[in-house]
Amino acid sequence: MADTKKRAEGAYSAEDISVLEGLEPVRKRPGMYIGGTGIEGLHHLVWEIFDNSRDEAMGGYANEIEAVLLPGNRIRITDNGRGIPTDVHSKTKVSALETVMTTLHAGGKFGGEGYKVSGGLHGVGASVVNALSIYTQVVVHRDGGIHMQEYSQGKKKAAVKKIGSSKLHGTITTFEPDTEIFKDLQFVWETIVNHFRGQAYLVKGLRIRCIDARGYEGKMKLEDVYWFSELGLDLPNYSFYFEGGLISLVKYYNLSQKPIHDSIYYIEKEQDDVFVELALQYTDDVSSKIVAYANNIYNPEGGTHITGFKMALTRTLNNYAKKEGFVKEADGAFTGEDVLEGLTVVVSVKLREIQFEGQTKGKLGSPEAQGAVATVFGESFAAFLEEHPEDAKAIINKVIIAVRARKAAKAAKDSVLRKGAMEGMTLPGKLADCQTKSAEEAEIFIVEGDSAGGTAKTGRDRRTQAILPLRGKILNIERARLDKMLASEQIRNLVVAMGTAIGDTFDIAKLRYHKVIIATDADVDGAHISTLILTLFYRYFRPLIDGGFIYIAQPPLYKIKKGKEIFYCYTDEERLKITGVQNEDLDEMIRRAEEDGAGEQEGDVEEVEEKGAVKKAPKMHIQRYKGLGEMNAEELWETTMDPERRILKQVMIEDAAEADRVFDMLMGSDVAPRKSFIQTYAKTADIDI
């Protein structure tokens, strides 16, 4: 972009910092600024500081960023940009650095010429992070000097001070989130690495390093070190640098797919002050991957740029297909659903003035992005199809197959719904429904097998709990179209029980249960069945996951009766703590019990001495559950179904694009990526033999 060419360093000064208000609102209502105070909000702090460094790179002022996880729940982010100005601000009468860090809506992104394009919270990011941290330190290398200031809960500890001289330039920010705001302070290494990998694809020429130094025991002052990596420590680390940009990112997403055309389409162009960059490729998959960014901020909910893309894609492919005689008028036009099947696309736009729907930037709202993307992509993609006739033919044939599949799926779906309606309330015979008609208090247990289903039906609360037993492993739908899916009785039963319908008639408002609980055995087969069910929900009932309606039940592994006391243990660690029986001894006890034909092993624990008298510890029974069917109705209710005592894990998707890639790899038809994954992680796997 012409607007992101490097300008003279002196053009970024204190006068480019605008000031609006203080930080108290942030601590009172943190959710308004970072979306929440859970694990996502915690990582949002990292993204905000990183965004400031990344914006320097987008403007052409930096080409390296380093993020380091430190002991004590601290994280350090360094860039070699211009450095935050440290001269005195004319309005606040203090250093511009202090103004940026302690005043809400103070930053170089509010008018002036500090930034042409930015991705942070419109300049509030650094101050918000500071307000929500118990400790923050900023070290600035600029104009030949090193300046530092420290803060706590958004307030300075002392004035900005010069601590040395330097020939370098850039900003080093270290912060520790406040336990008064966040209950969980454990940064997730994989989440941070995946986020920064994605960012490296988006800024050409930018190198991003991630270092996990939580095991670092050095005592040196980190303000004396510019790049932590130069210490040469043997720590987990990644370095990302991608010359291909979005083309490389599309290749990455399609690693476990089979492309149907070799050429990856790519365009970058400015239109009406909107910079549009886009790359796409079709594969033989039946689902699509649409990844959206605005000013390098990931938009999981899409927005105006995606609307413009979809409009142009549908129009361009329809025009080309008719012009070249691939389809006749009687066949009807391609729909938006048809042209998306098998598509992997990354759409990135950059705007000077940007609008998001919501403070967490999940959806772009800038109307000018829609027209710019539609114009740039529509004209360019039409030319691409003309210049690559073989690729164009492969794409059109793929869409035609999708059209036929859509029509077949509609016929199959209509058949299922008609049949369901004739049977009354569309409910399958195996479903033991609950009495309540309120979806808010109703829950359905999807259980493994008729045996567990029978026990669950006996032990449940009939008023609020429905039971749907599934027979064995359901169809792997990762590569299956809707018509093939609905040919499976198991999946038909599940679809009908949900009440939402499926495909283009899906309606989440008709969901019959607001808790959909997957309850399978705690073994490899149970985990496989859970994965197959989750794959179905992810591909065809995604709003149920996004809405927080999907849960996984956690049945116990052991029942322990110690004297008159009964304990249920959900892990081996719990069992060991209660019984003191080591794994090797437990296996022997269970082996003897099986040889004796007993369901549980009873025995005296060794004699113990208490106050000089020798006495026997109470007798102990240890029972290991191999499946839900081994429990009686009372046990299943107490451990897995009683809302007061059960343990449920809610299924959430933090990174949809990465989850999509993993599902493709683990559940798709391409063996090579799955084999590589197994070989990589085989040694660390917890194998149930």
Confidence at residue 531, expressed as pLDDT on a 0 to 100 scale: 82
Q: With 60 as the cut, is the pLDDT of residue 457 above it?
A: yes
Confidence at residue 590, expressed as pLDDT on a 0 to 100 scale: 62
Residue 377 in contact with residue 278, Cβ under 8 Å?
yes
Mean pLDDT of 406-425: 61
Q: With 70 as the cut, is the pLDDT of residue 115 above it?
A: no
Closest CA to 516 of 433, 428, 444: 444
Confidence at residue 604, expressed as pLDDT on a 0 to 100 scale: 44
Low-confidence winner among 1-5, 160-164, 175-179 (lowest mean pLDDT): 1-5
Q: Which residue has the higher pLDDT, 422 or 164?
A: 164
Band the pLDDT of 518: cuts 50, 70, 90: very high
Low-confidence winner among 15-29, 39-53, 426-440, 632-646 (lowest mean pLDDT): 15-29
Q: How does pLDDT run across 65-93, given as a tens digit for each residue?
A: 999 999 999 999 999 999 999 988 778 78
pTM over 0.85: no
CATH 3.30.360.10 for domain 425-555+648-674, yes or no, is no
* 246-405 and 425-555+648-674 share one fold: no
Q: Which residue has the higher pLDDT, 578 or 211?
A: 211
Q: Which residue has the higher pLDDT, 213 or 116?
A: 213
Band the pLDDT of 421: cuts 50, 70, 90: very low
Mean pLDDT of 105-111: 50
Confidence at residue 600, expressed as pLDDT on a 0 to 100 scale: 43
Phi and psi, residue 318, nearest 5°? -65, -45
3-state SS, one letter per residue, for 504-569: HHCCHHHCCCCEEEEECCCCHHHHHHHHHHHHHHHHHCHHHHHCCCEEEECCCCEEEEECCEEEEE
Confidence at residue 119, expressed as pLDDT on a 0 to 100 scale: 45
Q: What separation in angstroms does the CA of 338 have from each of 153, 310, 334, 397?
A: 52, 11, 6, 11
- Mean pLDDT, the chain, rounded, equals 83
Confidence at residue 268, expressed as pLDDT on a 0 to 100 scale: 93
Confidence at residue 411, expressed as pLDDT on a 0 to 100 scale: 76
At 20, the amino acid letter reads L
Q: With 70 as the cut, is the pLDDT of residue 547 above it?
A: yes
Tokens of 672: 């090579």
Tokens of 20: 């609006």
At 218, the amino acid letter reads G
Question: What is the assigned CATH class of domain 2-240?
Answer: alpha beta
Q: With 60 as the cut, is the pLDDT of residue 187 above it?
A: yes
CA distance 148 to 140: 6
Mean pLDDT of 20-33: 76
Q: With 70 as the cut, is the pLDDT of residue 592 above it?
A: no
CA distance 545 to 498: 13
Q: Which residues pair with 146 in a beta bridge?
A: 141, 164
Quote the DSSP letter at residue 479.
Answer: G
Confidence at residue 571, expressed as pLDDT on a 0 to 100 scale: 84
Q: With 50 as the cut, is the pLDDT of residue 422 above it?
A: no
Burial (0-12, 13-18, 19+ Cβ within 10 Å), 371: middle
* CATH hierarchy code of domain 246-405: 3.30.230.10
Tokens of 97: 């650095």
Q: With 70 as the cut, is the pLDDT of residue 434 above it?
A: yes
Distance of CA 493 to the CA centre of its chain: 29
Low-confidence winner among 584-588, 627-631, 683-687 (lowest mean pLDDT): 683-687
Report the 10 Å Cβ neighbour count for 437: 8
**Domain assignments of the chain as residue spans, ordered by start:** 2-240, 246-405, 425-555+648-674, 558-603+613-624
Phi and psi, residue 93, nearest 5°? 65, 15
Confidence at residue 602, expressed as pLDDT on a 0 to 100 scale: 44
Confidence at residue 84, expressed as pLDDT on a 0 to 100 scale: 92
Q: With 80 as the cut, is the pLDDT of residue 265 above it?
A: yes
Confidence at residue 317, expressed as pLDDT on a 0 to 100 scale: 96
CA distance 491 to 684: 33
Distance of CA 688 to the CA centre of its chain: 27
Catalytic residues: 448, 521, 523, 525
Contacts of 490 (CB under 8 A, 6+ apart): 470, 471, 474, 475
Report the 10 Å Cβ neighbour count for 533: 24
Band the pLDDT of 21: cuts 50, 70, 90: low
Q: Which residue has the higher pLDDT, 9 or 261?
A: 261
CA distance 119 to 297: 6
CA distance 609 to 291: 66
Mean pLDDT of 167-192: 94
Q: With 90 as the cut, is the pLDDT of residue 601 above it?
A: no
